[in-house]
Amino acid sequence: MNLTVLNNSLIEHKVSLIRNKETGTKEFREIISEISTLLCYEAMKDAKLEEVEIETPICKTTAKILKEDNYAFVPILRAGTGMLDGLLNVIPNAKIGHIGLYRNEETLTPVKYYYKMPKDINEREAIVLDPMLATGGSACDTIKCLKNDGVKKIKFLCIIAAKPGIERLQKEHPDVDIFAAKVDEYLNENGYIIPGLGDAGDRIFGTK
Ligand code: PRP
Ligand code: URA
């Protein structure tokens, strides 16, 4: 199974706070960022490390460190940028690629309006960021673009993953590991996750 769900009471508590429509933009943004950091820790659980010689205040020793410039974070505009700080807090040297997609409100298919990746993206592991995995269209299109660019290792991090989106992503890209804070069952007729948290972009940027 390539789906990891953060099973933790504190995360459950934080997700409940952002589900609440009374939670304002500032707190919403802060919690998205906090949860994103924790998703990043989970996604890096088995990351390759390299050995270096260092000196502690007491003695010389061999230590293992992460090769930070192996990674590219790829937030899906707009809402994915809300997760970026949470990851950069812990892996500050990653490069960043942007993809702009919005969902056509009638067909729910994603429309691409921007794409700019680091030049050496094909040599990096891509960590795709989007708080919401609903139908899975935006995630699948993003991953397709990255694979077309030669990216071989991709992970997808989200706050809420809906079952239809998980199924589609697993079917179209079984090689991509998915990390989610919470799984929801359904989408409504407008493609919104139930119970979800509403429109993540609007809530992060205060546009509605
Ligand atoms: C939202 C969300 C995802 C997408 C998920 O973006 O941030 O990108 O919908 O839906 P899907 O799994 O059905 O593709 P939206 O289109 O609302 O754009 P925005 O981030 O600019 O608000
Ligand atoms: N995009 C969102 O922002 N929220 C949803 O519930 C579904 C897609």
DSSP class of 196? S
Residue 68: predicted pLDDT: 85
Q: Are 95 and 151 in contact (CB under 8 A)?
A: no
Helices 81-88 and 25-43: crossing angle in degrees, nearest 10, is 60
Please give all residues whose beta carbon lies within 6 A of any atom in ligand 2, as ranges: 79, 132, 134, 191-193, 196, 199-201
- Find, among 9, 140, 166, the residue nearest to 76 by Cα: 140
What distance in angstroms lies between residue 201's CA and the mean position of ligand 2's atoms?
8
Cα of first residue to Cα of last residue in the chain, in angstroms, is 37
Which whole number is the average pLDDT over 35-60? 97
Best residue for ligand 1 mutational test, from 25, 29, 74, 76 (most atoms within 8 Å of Cβ): 76
Closest ligand 1 atom to 162 CA: 12
Backbone angles phi, psi at 174, to 5 degrees: -65, -15
Minimal-distance CA residue to ligand 1 atom 21: 78
What distance in angstroms lies between residue 4's CA and the mean position of ligand 2's atoms?
20
pLDDT at 186 over 90: yes
Which whole number is the average pLDDT over 48-60? 97
In 3-state terms, what secondary structure has residue 188? coil
Q: Using one digit for the tens of pLDDT, what is the confidence trace for 87-108?
A: 999 999 999 999 999 989 899 9
Residue 69: predicted pLDDT: 83
Please give all residues whose beta carbon lies within 6 A of any atom in ligand 1, as ranges: 76-79, 101-103, 108, 110, 130-139, 165, 191, 199-201
Residue 16: predicted pLDDT: 98
Q: Using one digit for the tens of pLDDT, what is the confidence trace for 131-156?
A: 999 999 999 999 999 999 999 999 99
Percent of the chain with pLDDT over 70: 100
What distance in angstroms lies between residue 198's CA and the mean position of ligand 1's atoms?
11
| Tokens coding 3 | 């789906």
What type of residue sits at position 141? D
CA torsion through residues 134, 140, 145, 151, sign: positive
CA dihedral 126, 171, 177, 157 (to 10 degrees): 70
Residue 62: predicted pLDDT: 98
What distance in angstroms lies between residue 130's CA and the mean position of ligand 1's atoms?
8
What type of residue sits at position 190? N
pLDDT at 1 over 90: no
Model confidence at 32, pLDDT cuts 50, 70, 90, reads very high
Average pLDDT of the chain? 97
Catalytic residue numbers read 103, 107, 199, 202
Backbone angles phi, psi at 166, to 5 degrees: -60, -45
Model confidence at 53, pLDDT cuts 50, 70, 90, reads very high
DSSP string, 14-48: HHHHHHSTTS-HHHHHHHHHHHHHHHHHHHTTT--
**Type and span of the H or E element at 201:** helix 200-205
Residue 110: predicted pLDDT: 96
In 3-state terms, what secondary structure has residue 12? helix
| Tokens coding 105 | 């409100």
| Tokens coding 28 | 């919403």
